[in-house]
């Protein structure tokens, strides 16, 4: 059963990587063919805020079947044109909210590619632009608490519980969203809202969390990207 799960995750990983390579190839090909309005290119920065939701299964009673809701944001870089946008999330930090029984925080980096289907039909500069996205992310879940040592005395004066360990994951992601492009002359401002679905392609855990698995995740983000036209 465990080997079948590994095979399934690898198959999903192959599918998302193939999808990601395909849309990157199409984007490069479109630019190489000198499509109309090809001079509309941009480079800049992105900031977004959002919520992530997943679930844990574990041989640890404190974590088994625990729903995890996290809130936070990320900073990164963007570059693209009217048809595609490459998004490099350099650093994302998310913190479990008050509804989560145990403290689980996350650090995340990601590479995403947005594709704007309507731009392949109408290349004029509409304000509202839907998009689909695909990519990959690397996430580290950090666990805090006292459940690794039931005899430990809880220090109520401490600002946070002691660090226990981590689980690191590589995940594929797909999603979609809406982007509002504000009219600008020499720079750009894009405001967006999106939803993503992520699944594990690989997981590496500390010994204490060896039998703890992270389920597929969903996320909702809002943000802004801004910078310079070239």
Give residue-wise pLDDT tens across range 36-70. 444 568 899 999 999 999 999 999 999 999 999 99
Residues shown for the chain = 230
pLDDT at 13: 52
Please give the residue that has the higher pLDDT: either 138 or 121.
Answer: 138
* Structure tokens that stand for 23 in this block: 């849309």
Other CB atoms within a 10 A radius of the CB of residue 8 amount to 11
Interatomic CA distance for residues 23 and 28, integer angstroms: 9
How confident is residue 35, by pLDDT bands cut at 50, 70 and 90?
very low
All domains of the chain, ordered by start, with CATH?
2-33+41-229 (2.40.160.20)
Interior angle at CA 221, CA 213 and CA 46, nearest 5: 115
In the predicted model, is pLDDT for residue 174 greater than 90?
yes
The first and second tokens of residue 154, run together, are 């809880």
Looking at per-residue pLDDT, the higher value among 63 and 186 belongs to: 63
pLDDT at 18: 52
Q: Given its phi and psi angles, is residue 198 left (phi above 0), alpha (psi -120 to 50 degrees) or beta?
A: beta
Provide mean pLDDT across the span 10-26.
Answer: 52
* Residue 109 pLDDT > 90: yes
The tokens of 155 are what? 């220090």
pLDDT single digits (tens) 211-224:
999 999 999 999 99
The phi and psi torsions of 85 (rounded to 5 degrees) equal -140, 125
Scanning the structure block, which residue is given the tokens 């399934």? 8
pLDDT (0 to 100) of residue 16: 52
> Measured between alpha carbons, how far is 9 from 172 in angstroms, rounded to an integer?
10
**What is the pTM assigned to this prediction?**
0.79
- How far apart CA 193 and CA 220 sit, in angstroms, is 8
Residue 1 banded pLDDT, cuts 50, 70, 90: very low
SS3 at position 205 = strand
Instruction: Quick: pLDDT tens for 66-98.
Output: 999 999 999 999 998 888 999 999 999 999 998
Q: Is 180 left (phi over 0), alpha (psi -120 to 50) or beta?
A: beta
Q: Please report, for residues 79, 134, 146, the alpha-carbon distance to residue 207 in angstroms, rounded to integers and kept in the order given.
A: 40, 32, 16
Banded model confidence at residue 23, pLDDT cuts 50, 70, 90: low
Is residue 108 within 8 A of residue 81, CB to CB? The reply is no
Question: What pLDDT is attached to residue 185?
Answer: 58
pLDDT at residue 50, rounded to an integer: 95
């Amino acid at each position: 059963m465990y080997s079948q799960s590994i095979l399934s995750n690898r198959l999903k990983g192959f599918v998302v990587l193939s999808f990601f390579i395909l849309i990157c190839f199409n984007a490069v090909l479109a630019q190489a063919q000198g499509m109309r309005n090809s001079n509309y290119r941009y480079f800049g920065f992105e900031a977004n805020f959002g919520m992530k939701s997943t679930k844990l299964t574990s041989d640890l009673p404190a974590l088994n079947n625990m729903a995890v809701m996290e809130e936070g944001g990320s900073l990164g870089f963007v570059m693209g044109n009217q048809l595609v946008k490459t998004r490099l999330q350099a650093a994302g930090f998310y913190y479990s909210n008050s509804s989560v029984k145990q403290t689980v925080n996350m650090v995340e980096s990601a590479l995403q590619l947005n594709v704007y289907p309507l731009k392949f039909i109408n290349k004029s500069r509409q304000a509202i632009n839907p998009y689909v996205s695909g990519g990959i992310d690397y996430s580290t879940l950090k666990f805090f608490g006292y459940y690794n040592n039931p005899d430990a005395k809880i220090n109520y004066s401490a600002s946070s519980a002691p660090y226990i360990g981590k689980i690191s994951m590589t995940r594929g992601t797909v999603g979609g969203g809406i982007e509002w492009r504000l009219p600008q002359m020499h720079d750009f401002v894009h405001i967006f809202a999106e939803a993503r679905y992520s699944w594990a392609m690989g997981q590496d855990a500390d010994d204490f969390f060896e039998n703890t698995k992270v389920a597929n995740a969903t996320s909702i983000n809002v943000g802004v990207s801004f910078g310079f036209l070239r």
